Structure 1
Amino acid sequence: MFFYDVIHKLLIFAGFDKLRNPFLLDLVLMRMFEPASKLRSVALIEEYFGIKYRRQQYYESAPKWLTLKTKAESIAVNFAKSHYEFDYSLVFYDVTTLYFETFKSDDLRKNGFSKDNKSQQPQILIGLMVTKEGLLVSYDIFTGNTFEGHTFIPMIEKLN
């Protein structure tokens, strides 16, 4: 399919083949073509592009993708620097909370200050850094009981 060939070549041109994970790239590509859940996207890849992945393969692969986050961000930022004169002269940073419809905490989801007035429910903090144009530079997830002010320095250190 034309769309698949063009976008796949663009992902390779940008350097995402260095992630050495064709399944992940196909999921990204599919979600650009038709945004859907990840599991639905596995089925759509076969339906639209004739590439078959097992649903179980998603469950086995997804946890490993977290280790690729920093490398993927680096690839994207380096591509933007070299092709779009991307610079860090001004970035914006914000933190928000996401709560869960449960009262059970775990290692990541913890009770803390909630922007949604859900302080009795476990939550996580998400820190997001964007350029002045609104393009994503980086994000990270913090435990729900982390003070917002303690998220800024780790995010800045990632830029170096």
Structure 2
Amino acid sequence: LSVLGKYRETVFLMIASRIIHPGSDISLRRFFRTIYYPWDSPRIGKDELYRSLDCLIGFKDRIETGIFNALKPDTSAVHYDLTSSYFEGREDNDLVLFGYSRDKKREKEQIVIGLVMADGIPIHHEVWPGNTVDPKTPESTISVLKERFHIKNVIIIADRAFGRSKSLDLLDQNLYITAVYRWDQPYRNILMNTDFTDGHVMDDLIV
């Protein structure tokens, strides 16, 4: 924590509150007023909270790896999903763009957030520009799982968005289970000429 300078105490209290009394930013500030500090009581407002996060982002990879190594979660099944978070007003930021809104807020700019969970523990997250589509995100995430967390055997289980032909190059680098649209190449002609009576379509493709 010493590398965080003047935000050291703020970050320490944020960590403590997540363990003792997890809640929103507003409840966090209420929590600060109810505890005894072994140092001069810091003045912590919303600006201090958010600026301390700016300091932490530079240590993101080290923090995630440290948590992973300390807790040693079971990685036999790793779950990955995306969400989006929209912004009110205009934001001058390369990440904040218009895109597919899971909140049905098409008129709002947004960012896309990916989260990886292992054994119920968040081990990694990434933030992408708001116009990023789902199939473009797994490549860097899979790379992190293999290189930083040493998860070597990856079997991707994905929905139809990843079964489109543009995503198959990534999937073909790993074992995978996915759904496909019958009109999508390279499966279209095969599927249209199969009676499906025994479920076998071609080598490595079963329906």
Q: Above 0.5 in TM-score?
A: yes
Higher helix content, 1 or 2: 1
Paired amino acid for 1:73: E
The answer as to whether partners of 1:105 and 1:122 remain within 8 angstroms in 2 is no
CA–CA distance in 1 between the matches of 2:2 and 2:76?
Answer: 27
Q: Could you list the runs of 5+ residues in structure 2 that have no partner in the other structure?
A: 148-207
Which of 61, 72, 90 is matched with 2:52 structurally? 61
Q: Could you list the runs of 5+ residues in structure 1 that have no partner in the other structure?
A: 1-16
Please state whether the residue corresponding to 1:54 is helix, strand or coil: coil
TM-score by length of 2: 0.56
The equivalent residue for 2:138 is 152
TM-score by length of 1: 0.70
CA–CA distance in 2 between the matches of 1:50 and 1:134?
Answer: 32
Percent identity over the alignment?
27
Please list the CA deviations of residues 54-83 of structure 1 after superposition, one character each: whole Å capped at 9, or x if unmatched.
Answer: 2265455331111122111111000122xx
The answer as to whether partners of 1:130 and 1:136 remain within 8 angstroms in 2 is yes
The answer on 1:112 being equivalent to 2:99 is yes
CA–CA distance in 2 between the matches of 1:117 and 1:59?
Answer: 27
Paired amino acid for 1:95: L
Please list the CA deviations of residues 94-142 of structure 1 after superposition, one character each: whole Å capped at 9, or x if unmatched.
Answer: 11112223355632210011122222210111111112x3221211111
The equivalent residue for 1:70 is 61
RMSD after superposition: 2.7
Tell which structure's C-alpha radius of gyration is larger: 2
The answer on 1:31 being equivalent to 2:18 is yes
1:46 CA displacement: 5.2
The answer as to whether partners of 2:10 and 2:44 remain within 8 angstroms in 1 is no
Give the paired residue count: 139
